[in-house]
Structure 1
Amino acid sequence: MKSIVVKNLSKYFRVYKKEPGIAGSLKSLFHRKHYDSKAVDNISFEIEEGELIGFIGPNGAGKTTTLKCLSGLLFPTSGEVSVLGHKPFERKKEFLKQISLVMGQKNQLWWDLPPMESFLLNKEIYQVNDDTFKKTLDELVSLLEVEEVLNIQVRNLSLGQRMKCELIASLLHRPKVLFLEVISKLSSV
């Protein structure tokens, strides 16, 4: 069964140009110059259930933009995207409960709270029952060896500890699809 189907996906961003200085700023208020920058250009692929896929490419190749289109954070300029039979950009609850996205520069964990508090919040948001929550949390905490940091403020964790806890937060509701965007410091996983 195909979990992800992408046909001719393109995503362009409008980029505005401004001449330097105050005169350039004033001029751009009334006569803005722009161009369309191609972030993703006509890609197609299919991913079967259970497959692990990685995107490799230089900075600016469109890897993160593609993940944002697959998760519904961005609306494609053109093309078709289907994840688990859903159009991601519609952001329906039944779709969002089946996916998770971990991005190195975005946090699910509350900075001033211990990870455990964020885990409990995610439990409620995703309506995870107590038994499933406890079983999943215990498995992930043991696997990632973060028992000692569950009740320490996130701001006081190392980057590696924080990223492990971010991964736990993203997996607590047992998503069918997990999108991981450039995660450094998870080499021990």
Structure 2
Amino acid sequence: MTTIAYQGEIRFSRFLDAAGQPVAELPDWAAQADTLVEYYRQMTLARQFDTKAIALQRTGQLGTYPSLLGSEAIDIPTASLMREEDVLIPYYRNHAMQVIRGSEWRDVLLYWGGDERGSANPAQRQDLPNCVPIATQCLHACGVAAAFRIRNEKRVAVTLCGDGATSKGDFLEALNVAGAGNCRW
């Protein structure tokens, strides 16, 4: 029996300590006050939309609606840093990302109100529609990324998932597919 020891390293970056005091210089993309103010504005808008949508859902004026509470802090900068040719493979809480990528907030309301036209916004470029089943978007992203690799395109497939997705087979299968993607096609 052979035992293989992992000799890897997990890198850790931190810019603020627990009290909010700076401990390192901000990266170039965040060093501009305009950028951070715009991210904060978009996060505040997303949070306000979320509050209103939850109220609509609880009063029966909107169908099923998954809150984006807490995810806007990663969704806004991630979508803002994506290039136009990149592809977003959203999961059901990525409303803010879809809006940054060209959808309108009314499209979000249409979709969660049961109207599929809310996911067919032409401004979304080649972005995929919402993925409601948990973790399946991870495999979709692997397929899109594989197509980019086969075509030798310098594009990125972006997806996110919540911590609940990490216990699903789809997530684990996506890790395997992504790892196998290092081989030559």
- The TM-score normalised by the length of structure 2 is 0.24
Give the number of the structure whose alpha-carbon radius of gyration is greater.
1
- The TM-score normalised by the length of structure 1 is 0.23
Higher strand share: 1
Higher RCO (Cα < 8 Å, 6 or more apart): 1
Higher helix share: 2
